[in-house]
Structure 1
Amino acid sequence: MSSACRSARRTGPVRSRARLFLAVQAAVVCAALTACAGGGPAEGAAPAGTAVAPAPALDITVAPHGTKAVAGVPVKVTAESGKLKTVQVRAAGGKALAGRISADGRTWTSDRVAAPGTAYTVSAKDAAGRGDRTGFTTAAADKVNKLTLAPGKDTTVGIAQPLSIVFDHPVKNKAAVEKALTVTTTDDTTGSWGWLRDHSGKDRVDWRPREYWKPGTRVTLAAGLDGVDSGPDGGFFVRDYATTFTIGSAQVARVDLDRHRLTLVREGKTVLDLPMSAGTPGGDKASWRGTAVLMSKEGTINMRSETVGLGDAYDKMVDWSMRLTWSGMYVHAAPWNAAYFGVANRSSGCVGLSDANAAALYGQVRAGDPFEITGADAKGTVAEGNGYGAWNVSWADWRKKSALG
């Protein structure tokens, strides 16, 4: 105790009021000296016996949420405190949704939408390792849309073959569907999607290059449609689709209606020059002009006139049949028309050849080869949805058919 404190301890008889005054004064002085001596708590420290509150745990909210959550929208994860470091949204069965964290670290948004009828688990962590986990389940789709892809997977096709997708149900949300379709090529081919009405009446979207494909190009389509809503009356897609194909040699079949000749040109050289007879001009039996694309090689088939709106004109088994349009235009063997080969057009709309010449052409061409049909003896131009008629639309007009502008 300091001398000042000791001097406050007076002895001997004093009046009680004086003693009380001195005692209070001494207590004040001693308290001040003790504080100056540094015996108290450090500046900013919690008082003795006070618990320090822990840092708040990571707490996330997720949209959509619940057991019948809306499908077809991106998943958004929000940190109520702190900043997100990692986020994982995984569907039942192990398929994860990719996504990205915002610049401020508060939110994560999936790149793709949540699929219908799917249970998802959501887990997240921040930089300090704190985590949270939750989940949700989307409602099942009331209606499911499906599609048919051409060409088939791992095929080799001609230089005019488009990617073609025909949908089972109407597609109103064309932009959303088109955004989910990714085409990649080995030589960065320039091309565009175009929406059209298929000959069947269904919605269809084709991807064609600006010009014919380069031989050897490898093409891949990734259709990430799982969870995409095609719109009213269409329904959700509930799976992804994919196909790959390769472009074969550069060959073009040229059909001259006026000269009654069909020539096959490969890599700039004529390999076949064949007399033929096409459709009778002046009516429904005339052939189409423009660029048609070989859709399929069908061999020997039964051709009946009533299927193409020509009544009971014919019912025949026909060899070496090569389909050019959905409306029934083929190149095929037509020995019954031999008198007109190279002379006149006298068929019911198809391009007829001798048995030997039809067999020779059949053995050389492949699906996707263009048949460029010219001449006056035609009933019109091949429509874009009648087979693969997109080549009869200018590039500028074709690009306008994209739902993405």
Structure 2
Amino acid sequence: MSRTRRTALPRRRVRQVALAGTALLAAALTACSGGADGGSDGGAKADAKNKPAMAVSVNLTGDQVKAGEPVKVTIADGKLAQVKVTDGKGGELAGQIAADGKTWTSGRNAAPNADYKVEAQNTDSQNASTQFKTSAADKVNKVSINISKGSTVGVAMPVSLVFDNPVKNKAEVEKQLKVTTSNNTEGSWGWFKDYSGNDRVDWRPKDYWKSGTDVKVEMNLNGVDSGAGGGLFARDYSTEFKIGKDRRMEVSLDTKKMSVTEDGQVVKTVPVSAGTPGGQKASWSGKMVLMAKEGTIRMDSQTVGLGDAYDKMVDYSMRLTWSGMYVHAAPWNAANFGSANTSSGCVGMSDANAKAVYEQVQAGDPLEVVGSGSKGKADLGNGYGEWNLSWDAWKAKSALAGAAQNG
């Protein structure tokens, strides 16, 4: 985003000219070093009197301005030297003066329900200022972020944003999303539908994160229009997090075992019983991400469309999909650990092994299910399924990639 050019203001006495309406020709300004009644520099005083007044226009005026568009300042004669647009909270809308010096445009839109002050100066050191106020948004869109500020997550955790309302202007929204890392990690945003049915955009690295990476996410959305039916965003969002230990899990449906590796070395192998092959009770396969450690929870088969197959409290529960696939303790199925897949879709193990794994892993650790007898890969939005796509396929889901191709 371009920044407003900052030019030191001359130490002169200048009369401020108020802007009212879209354009106003300013009265003649005195811009000399002496006082109003004369000074030692008579030539400068005479020149200042002969200069035309500064006339500028602002595209947004009044006290009920509709938000959601950039601020544009235009000078009638001469050139702009600097423009500053600030809101009532001290925030500044950065912008850029065009190459011909005639216009200045903010890099971001005016936000809803905000007071703005516009201050302009031309190359002859004449100043002008005005104010305007934007009205509240008719409809406000909001964002849910999957990673809380200060978290440490595993090497597969994507940045995931789910929107309350539809996002039609996906490219405009994506332009305002920025991921900064401590080691220049390559990654891309991708759009799709969340399991809830809402619009969602995730940022996934090309490969799994490197352990120790620091990540900052800035969502400069205040004043951005979601498009038809979505409304305006009325605030910015941000989060920061760190990538923890490189820990990965693999479940083999063939051997009925789960292995845990750290930094490429196997540190634990446990017997398991996964989903029953041949129907809806089979496990999902492919690359998944440990979404959250939920501890002891009630699992009711009726909530996932499996009738009255089970309803019980389950310990050491670790979520893999929104549809209800977990890794957890399953002491009632002890006879089948390591020998048969007979669960209702989850990966079960003994209390002792589940406790040990639960204490060892973190949200964001990858888990891959391999072997035969699965019901295929879960939908992209059913958890964090982006790792099942090739890098090129994932990049193609960026709205900006699509805009570039269409352009």
In the superposition, the TM-score normalised over structure 1's length comes to 0.86
Letter in 1 for 2:96: R
Letter in 1 for 2:272: M
Of 318, 321, 344, the match for 1:322: 318
Q: Residue in 2 aligned with 1:304?
A: 300
Of 265, 268, 271, the match for 1:275: 271
Secondary structure of the corresponding residue to residue 72 of structure 1: coil
Letter in 2 for 1:198: D
Letter in 2 for 1:261: K
Letter in 2 for 1:135: Q
Superposed, which structure 2 residues align to 1:4-403 within 5 Å? 54-403=50-399
Tell me by how many angstroms 1:220 deviates. 0.8
Task: Confirm or deny: 8 A CA contact 1:79 1:107 kept in the other structure.
Answer: yes
Q: Deviations over 1:151-191 (max 9, x none)?
A: 11111100000000000011011001000001111111111
Tell me by how many angstroms 1:251 deviates. 1.2
Task: Confirm or deny: 8 A CA contact 1:159 1:369 kept in the other structure.
Answer: yes
Letter in 2 for 1:230: S
Secondary structure of the corresponding residue to residue 121 of structure 2: strand
Tell me by how many angstroms 1:249 deviates. 1.2
Q: Deviations over 1:182-224 (max 9, x none)?
A: 1111111111000011011110000001111111111111000
Letter in 2 for 1:311: G
Tell me by how many angstroms 1:68 deviates. 2.3
Runs (4 or more) in structure 1 with deviation over 3 Å come to none
Gaps of 5+ in 2: 1-46, 402-407
Q: Residue in 1 aligned with 2:16?
A: none
Secondary structure of the corresponding residue to residue 53 of structure 2: coil
Q: What CA distance in whole angstroms lies between the structure 2 residues aligned with 1:232 and 1:53?
A: 52
Task: Confirm or deny: 8 A CA contact 1:143 1:236 kept in the other structure.
Answer: yes
Secondary structure of the corresponding residue to residue 313 of structure 2: strand
Gaps of 5+ in 1: 1-50
Task: Confirm or deny: 8 A CA contact 1:383 1:392 kept in the other structure.
Answer: no
Q: What CA distance in whole angstroms lies between the structure 2 residues aligned with 1:271 and 1:79?
A: 69
Tell me by how many angstroms 1:52 deviates. 9.9
Q: What CA distance in whole angstroms lies between the structure 1 residues aligned with 2:172 and 2:239?
A: 20
Aligned residues: percent identity?
A: 58
Tell me by how many angstroms 1:268 deviates. 1.1
- Change in CA separation of 1:82 and 1:252 when aligned onto 2, cut-off 3 Å: same
Letter in 2 for 1:155: S
Tell which deviates more after alignment, 151-160 or 122-131.
Answer: 122-131
In the superposition, the TM-score normalised over structure 2's length comes to 0.86
Q: What CA distance in whole angstroms lies between the structure 2 residues aligned with 1:122 and 1:401?
A: 39
Q: What CA distance in whole angstroms lies between the structure 2 residues aligned with 1:138 and 1:388?
A: 39
Q: Deviations over 1:118-170 (max 9, x none)?
A: 22111111233211111222232100000100111111100000000000011
Aligned length: 356
Task: Confirm or deny: 8 A CA contact 1:278 1:346 kept in the other structure.
Answer: yes
Secondary structure of the corresponding residue to residue 358 of structure 1: helix
Letter in 2 for 1:239: R
Q: Deviations over 1:31-82 (max 9, x none)?
A: xxxxxxxxxxxxxxxxxxxx99631222211012233223211111111222
Q: What CA distance in whole angstroms lies between the structure 2 residues aligned with 1:114 and 1:370?
A: 41
Task: Confirm or deny: 8 A CA contact 1:384 1:393 kept in the other structure.
Answer: no
Secondary structure of the corresponding residue to residue 104 of structure 1: coil
Q: What CA distance in whole angstroms lies between the structure 2 residues aligned with 1:140 and 1:81?
A: 35
Secondary structure of the corresponding residue to residue 385 of structure 1: coil
- Change in CA separation of 1:282 and 1:99 when aligned onto 2, cut-off 3 Å: same
Letter in 1 for 2:361: V
Letter in 1 for 2:131: G
Q: Residue in 2 aligned with 1:5?
A: none
